[in-house]
A and B are shown apart, each in its own frame.
Chain A
């Protein structure tokens, strides 16, 4: 198996403002979101990062997508370092999170072309790809409708399509089905499997056990920014269901506290 992603000792600490200290109910001025995290992923697999809210999943994915810079450690995506070559990394990945929004004023058609050009996709490929992907997700009928007037589900499908305009080798999804209606969620998960079949690598974060069980080839369990367990589902679950295994690990880490 060809390794396409290697994460080595990734660390990220945030300074807490007074407001954040109040929210977090702490007097500590800094919070470690990701603590020496290491894992790898292979070409053509779906790797899931599983963890509770605040575990550091989103921070990890944001570092992999170069939106934020690690304090320590590095990640190599398809031969490019997130620390030294962020532009090259961004050219190789498609990143989708609920934080990333599209301008309401523009149409799907315009946005597809705009992001394709930013990714350096040539005009012919852009047209072919647009036709295929808009058809695949049923966006073609709404290609000239402003994003503001699209349904929530259609907006999410469009966001997915826009994140993949450049046909990236690595797709990073933060909570891919969060907030989606069941039909759109199914479309997304089906498409992730299609991407895997095409040989793409997908890194996703989630706290939904069933999603990991249905989609992921390998999984990493993160708690308090640290990788507690990482491997194939069989290796991690150790004969238990994923949910039971997760809570066992969680109790071990938290010393029995809920």
Chain B
């Protein structure tokens, strides 16, 4: 009995260690991918932090008290320019523009004397410091966090003699210190989540059909039946890629509808989901559609090439897996960056370019040039893939490899 068990173990080991591809997929790739993914995530988080740290922020302070002035002496070294000038409601409203690196801070008049005369036991409202900022702007969010930390520490040291951003709950229109609009917040959330979801859904659609359509045809021997017809190889390659793209697109649309319907339920809780509705123009939707079409084409092309190389469907699945992880990785990157890149070279990178354009669309930052570069690049790459696939269909080594 024991010897039979040993025989089975030996056979399984021989099967596994005799297959170099299986060794790579099962042993080497997981470690490699975890290293790559975590390294990328680390770099992304670092760049996100750095991005907020390096941007200059103007801090306009109204009624700067003498006692707290020294606190701002080292502000320059933290890329904060302190400007002691008053501001109006119009200035506050302007903070809705998330690209404006300004924080407004207002002390009550004669803050120092109010602080001295205030009795925390009196039950009266404490002097309130107002700080206006936009939480969807990383730089102003950083300055806001820094200011509240400093002031809270000071407040605790003097026995809670003032408040920061106190909201009068009884007021019919309570003051909002965070000037991020619902659109700002919605755009930030959508731009970080949706590109990855869309790309993954589209990729799943391609994954579900492409290996069967090409590697499966090789495995079943039906591709050879097609190859002995007078049809040109490039017609076969183009037909395969377009049909696969179409089906993958339908599959992606179905998944997308599912996500769109379930997402508000997923993020219930503290978030007012009604504020997170789509507020996008017809132009945005049009660009999104073009981007998705181009992304599906490039995915179908890449998976078709790998499937054509594979001996059978199982082998194709193994070969496509690393590509799927790369696509996932590309999808994760927007979570660690503030908006889309302005570097046009980025838009030449397949998969990532689609993610960047979608991020820009959902963040209301879309510009024509990156979109054009992405669309042209993806169409060119698809053309190259059709050419390569044509060559592969003509190659006996690829088509009839055992």
Whole-angstrom distance from the CB of A98 to the nearest CB of chain B?
Answer: 9
CB <8 Å contact, B396 and A90: no
Q: Does A69 lie within 8 Å of B221, measured CB to CB?
A: no
Q: Does A208 contact B (CB under 8 A)?
A: no
Q: How large is the interface on A (under 10, 10 to 19, 20 to 34, 35 or more residues)?
A: 20 to 34
Select the residue from B224, B228, B232 with max chain A CB neighbours within 10 A: B228
Q: Which residues of chain A come closer than 8 Å to B220, judged between CB atoms?
A: 101, 103-104
Chain A residues near B228 (CB, 8 Å)? 65-67, 90, 93, 95, 100, 163
By the criterion CB–CB under 8 Å, are B231 and A118 in contact? yes
Interface: A162 (CB within 8 A): yes
- Name the B residues within 8 Å of A118 (CB-CB): 226, 229-231
Bound: A88/B230 CA distance, A: 7
Query: Given A100-B224, A100-B225: A120 and B396 within 8 A (CB)?
Result: no
The chain B residue with its CB closest to the CB of A100 is B225
In A76-131, the 8 Å CB interface with B consists of 87-88, 90-91, 93, 95, 99-104, 115, 118-120
Check B227 for interface membership: any CB of A closer than 8 A.
yes
A240 at the interface (CB under 8 A from B): no
- Determine whether the beta carbon of B222 is less than 8 Å from that of A102: yes
Q: In the bound complex, what is the Cα–Cα distance between A98 and B224 (angstroms)?
A: 11
Q: For the complex, is B400 an interface residue (Cβ under 8 Å from A)?
A: yes
The answer to the question of A28 belonging to the interface, with a C-beta cut-off of 8 Å to chain B, is no
Contact A67 B396, beta carbon cutoff 8 Å = yes
Q: Which of B189-238 contact A (CB under 8 A)?
A: 220-222, 224-232
Please, how many angstroms separate the alpha-carbon atoms of A240 and B60 in the complex? 112
User: Which residues of chain A come closer than 8 Å to B399, judged between CB atoms?
Assistant: 67
A104 to B229, CA, bound (A): 19
Task: Evaluate contact between A120 and B230: CB separation under 8 angstroms.
Answer: yes
In the assembled complex, the CB of A219 is this many whole angstroms from the nearest CB of chain B, namely: 24
B43 to chain A, nearest CB (A): 41
Residue with the highest number of chain B CB atoms closer than 10 Å, among A93, A99, A101, A163: A101
Among residues of A, the one whose C-beta sits closest to the C-beta of B399 is A67
Residues of chain A having any CB pair with chain B under 8 Å: 65-69, 87-88, 90-91, 93, 95, 99-104, 115, 118-120, 162-163
30 A-B pairs with C-beta separation under 8 A: A65-B228, A66-B228, A67-B224, A67-B227, A67-B228, A67-B399, A67-B400, A69-B396, A87-B232, A90-B228, A90-B229, A90-B230, A91-B230, A93-B228, A95-B228, A99-B221, A99-B224, A100-B221, A100-B222, A100-B225, A101-B220, A101-B222, A102-B225, A103-B220, A104-B220, A115-B229, A118-B229, A118-B230, A120-B230, A163-B228
Which B residues have a C-beta under 8 Å from some C-beta of A? 220-222, 224-232, 396, 399-400
Those 8 A-B pairs whose CB atoms lie nearest each other, nearest first: A101-B221, A91-B230, A68-B396, A118-B229, A90-B230, A100-B225, A95-B228, A87-B230
